[in-house]
Amino acid sequence: MLQNKNIVLGVSGGIAAYKACALTSKLTQQGANVRVIMTESATQFVSPLTFQALSRNPVYTDTFDEKDPEKIAHIDLADWADIIIVAPATANVIGKMAVGIADDMLTTTLLATKATIYIAPAMNVNMYDHPAVVRNMKQLETWGYHFIEPGAGYLACGWIGKGRLEEPESIIDVIIQHQSKSTVLIGKKVLISAGPTREKIDPVRFFTNRSTGKMGFSLAEAAANMGAEVTLVTGPVALETSTSRIERIDVTTSEEMYQIMHQKFFEHDIVIKSAAVADYRPKVTFEEKMKKQDGNLHIEMERTKDILQSLGEKKTTQFLVGFAAETTNPLDYGIKKLKKKNLDAIVINNVAIEGAGFGGDTNIATYVNKQLQQEEIELASKYNVAQKILSFIIRDMKDETP
């Protein structure tokens, strides 16, 4: 899985830096292209020359040491990397990452990259348990960073407990296992709807909702990263698609979304309707701006077409997933929706809970399949939630295969 992968290994200043030498060697033996960034403190434990010899590449220690005048080193490395591993990751570098400090080559590169980031902490057991460190690690997890937990045992400081850098072989095993997920949807076509719709009143006014599309975009990105061909049908949002592997179709109204979803439905294997489509629209719209008048304004509303139910009525082999954003008895309402609309699964959100509402970068959800098997997804970044949702979908699709 690591053959020809471009890997940046970030080494920060802890006694466990010596294990990073073995990690560099083993990554190279796996066929990876390895480039090492060392913090100034790390150079006090291991010489840069050691990593240069093991990786057969220059070692980066200074943000301002531009080895190639045609390139900005930290941006070039950030773009080059498929994977970044920070090992050992000290409490100091974890704290910098969690608050966005970029004061050396390593932290600057980490802020600039779109690569998958793995963090392997190593520190004193009391430091590892300190509330500040725990908070910082949780923050990084919500942003999609992947932690490789330290082992427990005798530490260099003399304490016994959790905080010892995981062994290089185990670090590589964790990464390979995670990377293997990137092939599980190869050959599958996934259709996802995202964002709100806008229902016109007049040329300057419309009805809409608070959806930002972040959950749907995260699902699209995660599915693409698992190898799927993804079509994303999105309402008006201020988001960019993260990869050219996602075919993006922009719509505005619920009717436009209805038409596109039905046009694309039978071409796809998995269909996830995460868009917050308007349930109602003005019965009468105006081509000229309505003028303010005395008294109250009454706008008659009519029902829009139910996209999810109509897809459920037509589905044949598609695995159809809906979302239910609720504030009262979310599980009960979600299960009713699952059954009524002939879904294969539903993702239920209580949007009144902190961390699970519209517009945020995190989510909390319950995944329920048509066998009423429930999976709780705890607070995490929307991308991590998306990965878990897709893993449950993949599991359930396998269970349905004769």
List, as one string, the DSSP characters of 262-318.
HHHHTT-SEEEE--B--SEEESS--SSPPPP-SS-----EEEPP-HHHHHHHH-SS-
* Same domain for 162 and 208: no
Q: Count of domains in the chain?
A: 2
Question: What single-letter DSSP state applies at residue 402?
Answer: -
Whether 1 is covered by a domain: the verdict is no
Same domain? 197 vs 176:
no
289 annotated to a ligand binding site: yes
Same domain, 393 and 305: yes
Q: Which of 150, 182, 214 is the last residue of a domain?
A: 182
Residue 132 and residue 149 in one domain: yes
Same domain, 128 and 165: yes
Neighbour tally for 269: CB within 10 Å: 16
Catalytic residue, candidates 157, 237, 290, 331: 157
Strand spans (E) along 217-256: 229-234, 246-250
Does residue 147 sit in the same domain as residue 193?
no
Do 47 and 157 fall into the same domain?
A: yes
pLDDT computed for residue 151 by the predictor: 76
Q: Cβ atoms within 10 A of the Cβ of 399, count?
A: 10
State yes or no: 173 annotated in a binding site.
Answer: no
pLDDT at 164: 82
203, part of any domain: yes
Q: Let me know if residue 152 belongs to a domain.
A: yes
Phi-psi region of 294 (alpha: psi -120 to 50; beta: other; left: phi over 0): beta
Dihedral, CA of residue 149, residue 93, residue 14 and residue 119, to nearest 10: 30
Q: Supply the pLDDT for residue 132.
A: 95
Q: What is the CATH number of the domain that holds 22?
A: 3.40.50.1950
Q: What is the pLDDT of residue 70?
A: 73
- State residue 152's pLDDT score: 67
- pLDDT value of position 161: 66
Q: pLDDT tens string for the chain (402 positions)?
A: 788 899 999 999 999 999 999 999 999 999 999 999 999 999 999 999 999 999 999 999 998 887 777 778 889 899 999 999 999 999 999 999 999 999 999 999 999 998 999 999 999 888 899 999 999 998 898 787 889 988 766 666 676 666 788 899 999 998 987 777 667 898 999 999 999 999 999 999 999 999 999 999 999 988 988 889 999 999 999 998 867 779 999 999 999 999 999 999 999 999 999 999 999 999 999 999 999 888 999 999 999 999 999 999 999 999 999 999 888 899 999 999 999 999 999 999 988 888 887 778 889 999 999 999 999 998 888 888 998 999 999 999 987 765
What pLDDT, on a 0 to 100 scale, did the predictor assign at position 72?
A: 80
Q: Is 202 annotated as a binding residue?
A: no
Please check whether residues 142 and 266 belong to one and the same domain. Answer: no
What pLDDT, on the 0 to 100 scale, is given for residue 159?
63
CA distance 197 to 209: 8
275 and 172 share one domain: no
Residues 20 and 163 in one domain: yes
Q: Answer yes or no: is 337 a known binding residue.
A: yes
Q: Taking a C-beta distance cutoff of 8 angstroms, is the pair 280, 232 a contact?
A: no
User: CA 40 to CA 58: how far, in whole Å?
Assistant: 16
Supply the pLDDT for residue 141.
84
User: Domain end: 154, 182, 210, which one?
Assistant: 182
Q: Can 21 be counted among the known catalytic residues? A: no
Tokens of 337: 């929706």
pTM summary value: 0.66
- The answer on whether 341 is annotated among ligand-binding residues is yes
Where among 182, 204, 239 does a domain terminate?
182
Residues 209 and 123 in one domain: no
Considering the domain architecture, whether residues 188 and 173 belong to the same structural domain is answered as no
Domain ranges, residue 163: 6-182
pLDDT of residue 35: 97
